[in-house]
Structure 1
Amino acid sequence: MADKVIALACAAGMSTSLLVTKMQQAAQEAGKDYEIYAKSVAEIDNMLSSSEKPDVLLLGPQVAYMKNEVIKKAAAVGVPCDVIKMQDYGMMNGKNVVAAADALMNG
């Protein structure tokens, strides 16, 4: 079982899968035991209501317009949430995204 679970949500869950791979590599290199996965935004309610909800939820930049609504839902169940920086997403910078997730979890 992983120490922390990081969930990413994007339009379809596809483009983010490459970022998940990069984040897993970065976490592993930093010696962190993280479970990282991506789902479509349609799955957010299920993720947050599950008994195994994530420790942090990150939104892809393409769904940033949903930020306020999702942050309210996530806060209601104690899950920090934010939008991945466009530059980190575009460059597939797993290290920076893991660092942003860490900052939210350790808030």
Structure 2
Amino acid sequence: MMKKILLVCAAGMSTSLLVNKMKEAAQNKGIEIEIDALPVSEASSVIDEVHVVLLGPQVRYQKSQVDALVKGRIPVEVIDMRSYGIMDGEAVLNRALELMG
């Protein structure tokens, strides 16, 4: 079954750039993975299908909202500020894979 990562963001361009870099990193590793970026208002529509949720640092205040949506079913974490700042797709992907076990 393909793993799915959801990035919760402020629907900005920076997040789609990070998604692309994460997809690139996954390709380089030969990993098939689906990565979507959505604002928290739309996250509930896909929350039951994803395996981990990562929040952009700029929406870290919405973590409790996301926690309430996932009800402890999957890991929820705020993306490391530095990795996000330098758009390190590989580091963010590696962390997501770690969280998914």
TM-score > 0.5 by shorter chain:
yes
Do structure 1's residue 82 and structure 2's residue 77 form an aligned pair?
yes
Quick check: 1:92 aligned with 2:71? no
Q: How far did residue 4 of structure 1 move?
A: 0.7
Residue from 48, 60, 63 that aligns with 1:64: 60
Aligned identity (percent) is 47
Give structure 1 stretches of 5+ with no counterpart: none
Q: Which runs of 4+ in 1 moved over 2 A?
A: none
How far 1:11 moved relative to its partner?
Answer: 1.1
Take 2:65 and 2:15, find their aligned partners in 1: how far apart are those partners? 21
1:47 deviates by: 1.8
List runs of 5+ in structure 2 lacking aligned partners.
Answer: none
* RMSD value, Cα: 1.5
Query: Relative to structure 1, is the Cα distance of residues 14 and 40 closer, same or farther in structure 2, using a 3 angstrom cutoff?
Result: farther
Paired with 1:77 and 1:46, the residues of 2 have a C-alpha distance of 17
> 1:13, CA displacement in angstroms?
4.6
- How far apart, in 2, do the equivalents of 1:10 and 1:70 lie? 12
**Which whole-Å CA distance do the structure 1 matches of 2:41 and 2:64 have between them?**
16
AA matched with 1:98: L
Native 8 Å contact 2:40 2:62 kept in 1: no
